[in-house]
A and B are shown apart, each in its own frame.
Chain A
């Protein structure tokens, strides 16, 4: 019998009960959240369980959500059961003040560099990692560049800010300007058929 998302979910809930939350299936991939203390237990269970057998680590990375106090950093695991060809994703949230997460290197050798990369860019402290040091950035770097507080653009520039990328309020000048709402085809005044303009 093919392993379905339903079965995986049931088995996980039977084992961990209320601990696992936010079960979703975006684009068909089962996604859930686990408390940060039990990330290793969940990984171990997914690895060892006779039915689940998620023994291939596809990817490990992190995401920074600065607007969620206490759970700013998410570590995201993508696991793959190659026998039944099912993928799952699970997340562990942690505070950026104390970003300690247990390492998965004991289970997956692949996690070694992926955790180093995640540490390098997000500053997640993987507890128990054999060699947790920077990997892509220079050793002297004293910040974690993929966190959102390090903006890409030069901060002295005023012509490029978040509002240009669809986030945050519009700058004062633009708000005062004459109707800035972008025209959508099909609106009054815009020929919907795309007829040539004389």
Chain B
């Protein structure tokens, strides 16, 4: 009997020089449900293949059987780190189709909320980049300010994560005094925290070594891949929907667009930090504008659109007209004018687009969401080719991939 000197593989086995590694769909480092199948040569990535769709919920199909106001809850679940931006984007889409003109105060209140959401979105992304490079402190430290932002949401709409905030034409109720107190607290305390957060990371040797040169992309490739938002700006393109296609009176505000140059993880981190400072500046301006309003204007929180905006409950019980509108709205019996609309807003990850086709029915004929995450995630294999395994993780978190937005 001869002695076997090597491991005998079973019949039909394939011997190969590379290792296949499944990163996801439930790997703790993916921060969301999606899968990367990495081919590794030692610790180097030869190729990466992404699989998405694990939490696909058929929003576009669902939307075809829902009245406009019921679709807001679907938009919450796209990028759930900044749901109010998605909500506002959806209201803006409806308002564009219906020709509703919102009062200035509504626009400014929306700007405050959208910029708070942007901060909470970038805050999570950047602190998670820190976690993935081995620095947990920042994450825990800034979390209390995300909590404060969520408390502000709670005061406005009653919920924290999936907000369903606002209505077509404005907000469901006026901001109460607790909102303004908490906002003032946030504006007073957050700059110091953000400064400290930057001190922890920006010139941190270990952090810089880990992020500089990791997952870079040129401006040209980024544009070709359809990048938008902070990831595109990190590559040096100053495209921002708030400036290029102003909505919700963004043209009334002074702010800068931070840009990077190399498009690597470090630049993406810096751009997001820069944007948080700009968001703070915008919130302060908007807060001042709202506070400066006098008389009747200072109390407005919605436009006058009886066909789409629910009347106050007291009126529903006492006035016939209000009762009828209430019934028609709740039963989804208000017809939508036919039309074709594309409306975009600057979400946490870039241009969130809503392409709405109405055929005159009570629900959209077709609704398509442009989800920035979905579009730029396809560049992942190009970004990580030849990189180390640990870079694959940090590139993923610095792209801010949100499974909800990717899968719709």
Binding site for B on A (CB under 8 A): 26-27, 29, 31, 55-59, 61, 63-64, 76, 78, 82, 85, 87, 89, 108-110, 112-114, 117, 121, 134-138, 145-146, 150, 152-153, 164-167, 182-185, 190-197
Contact of B375 with A by CB under 8 A? yes
Chain B residue nearest in CB terms to A110? B226
Q: Which residues of A contact B173 (CB under 8 A)?
A: none
Asked whether A146 lies within 8 Å of B61 as measured between CB atoms, the reply is yes
List chain B residues, Cβ under 8 A from A165: 65, 332, 361-363
Distance A26 CA – B221 CA, assembled complex (angstroms): 31
27 A-B residue pairings within 8 Å (CB atoms): A26-B339, A26-B340, A56-B223, A59-B368, A63-B366, A78-B342, A78-B353, A78-B355, A82-B223, A82-B239, A87-B342, A109-B378, A113-B374, A113-B378, A136-B52, A136-B408, A137-B53, A164-B362, A166-B360, A183-B324, A185-B320, A185-B325, A190-B324, A191-B319, A195-B319, A197-B318, A197-B319
- B242 CB, min distance to chain A CBs, angstroms: 13
A61 contacts B320, C-beta separation under 8 Å = no
Q: B321, A192: Cβ atoms under 8 Å?
A: yes
Q: Bound state CA distance, A184 and B325, in angstroms? A: 8
Q: Are A152 and B355 in contact (CB under 8 A)?
A: no
Q: Which residues of A contact B321 (CB under 8 A)?
A: 185, 190-194
Identify the interface centre among B65, B351, B379: most chain A CB within 10 Å of its CB: B65
Contacts of B174-200 to chain A: CB distance below 8 A: none
Q: Is B353 in contact with A59, judged by CB distance below 8 angstroms?
A: yes
**Cβ contacts under 8 Å, B407 to chain A:** 136
> Is A109's CB under 8 angstroms from B96's CB?
no
In the assembled complex, the Cα of A61 lies from the Cα of B363 at a distance in Å of 19
Ranked nearest first, the 6 interchain pairs of A and B with the lowest CB-CB distance are A110-B226, A194-B321, A166-B362, A136-B53, A166-B361, A194-B319
The size bracket of the interface on B is: 35 or more
Q: Which residues of B contact A134 (CB under 8 A)?
A: 53
Checking B62, B362, B377, B378 against A152 with a beta-carbon cut-off of 8 angstroms, the contacting residue is: B62
Q: Would A110 and B224 be within 8 Å (CB), given that A146-B61, A194-B322 are in contact?
A: yes
Given that A152-B62, A190-B320, A194-B321 are contacting pairs, would A109 and B340 also be in contact in the complex, using a CB cutoff of 8 Å?
A: no
B341 touches A145 (CB 8 A): no
A-side binding surface: helix, strand, loop or mixed?
loop
In contact, A85 and B56 (Cβ under 8 angstroms)? no
Per DSSP, are chain B's interface residues mostly helix, strand or loop, or mixed?
A: mixed
Contact between chains at B368 and A61 (CB < 8 Å): yes
Check A194 against B315 for contact (C-beta < 8 Å).
yes
**B225 to A109, Cβ gap below 8 A?**
yes
Interface residues of B in 336-386 (CB under 8 A from A): 339-342, 344, 351, 353, 355, 357, 359-363, 365-366, 368, 370, 374-375, 377-379
Q: B residues within 8 A CB of A85?
A: 244-245
> Are A194 and B353 in contact, with the CB atoms below 8 A?
no
Query: In the complex, A138→B359 CA distance in Å?
Result: 30
In contact, B355 and A136 (Cβ under 8 angstroms): no
If the complex has contacts A152-B62, A165-B362, A196-B318, are A82 and B237 also in contact, measured as CB distance less than 8 A? yes
Q: Does residue B304 face the partner (Cβ distance < 8 Å to A)?
A: no
Interface string of B59-80 (1 = CB under 8 A from A): 0111011000000000000000
Q: Bound state CA distance, A136 and B55, in angstroms?
A: 9
In Å, the complex CA distance between A191 and B322 comes to 10
